[in-house]
Amino acid sequence: MGTVVEASSKEASGSSLSQKKPKVVFVLGGPGSGKGTQCANIVEHFGYTHLSAGDLLRAEIKSGSENGTMIQNMIKEGKIVPSEVTIKLLEKAILENENDKFLIDGFPRNEENRAAFESVFGDLQTGITPEFVLYFDCPQEEMEKRLLSRNQGREDDNIDTIRKRFKVFLESSLPVIEYYNSKEKVRKIDAAKPVEEVFKTVKALFTPVVDKAAA
């Protein structure tokens, strides 16, 4: 009986998403690459809604729901939260928001995330895939310098932890970037430049062709 309910629920959400046809841009970059700052700029200038996979998981935990408790227990035990759980939260956030343009920040973190996203969003009637992947490329030394200067005193941002996070990013997220690059969907940004210069490059990617011609 549960299977029928699950199937019909998936069908209903699938149908809602295909009707909405959201425009999705994935945002990836190492810790300290400045993607949070740039996402805020894109939201302000181009009216996107910023969805952070990490923030959605934290909000679910804070809500005290059964799902939130399960997520919290998994994190406590050092287990990775299943991709399906994160995707369900993303799907819910997209459907509940009136906007139809979304920046999905820090996702997909790995190949498993990517495959799960495609199996849920890609098997809809219209097939929802990212418009492109915004990749903030920044040298490790620059990211370390930024994180250490802005997070003095925070235990989770000491040099060893930062290097571990960077290593995880290289091992997990680079294969995702390579996958989308093979489909010519990656827009690589030199994130080592000053914030204003970086946004100038980002802005060009989001400005419609018509606006560019008019300018």
Residue 173 φ then ψ, to 5°: -85, -30
Q: Is 167 annotated as a binding residue?
A: no
The Cα 197–Cα 195 span in angstroms is 6
Tell whether residue 187 is among the known ligand binding residues: no
Q: Is position 79 annotated in a ligand binding site?
A: yes
**168 annotated as a binding-site residue:** no
Is 145 annotated to bind a ligand? Reply is no
Residue 68 in marked binding region: no
| Residue 108 labeled ligand binder | yes
Q: Is 34 marked as a binding-site residue?
A: yes
* Annotated binding residue 14: no
Q: Is 36 annotated as a binding residue?
A: yes
Residues 71, 68: Cα–Cα separation, whole Å: 5
* Run of H or E residues at 187: strand 186-190
203 labeled part of a ligand binding site: no
Residue 5 near residue 117 (C-beta atoms within 8 A): no
166 annotated binding-site participant: no
161: annotated binding-site residue?
no
Q: What whole-number distance in Å separates Cα of residue 110 and Cα of residue 55?
A: 17
- Quote the distance between the C-alpha of residue 204 and its chain's center: 20
Q: Is 32 annotated as a binding residue?
A: yes
> Is 109 flagged in the annotation as binding?
yes
Binding-site residues for ATP, in ranges, read 32-37, 150, 193
Binding-site residues, in ranges, read 32-37, 58, 79-81, 106-109, 113, 150, 154, 165, 193
Binding-site residues for CMP, in ranges, read 113
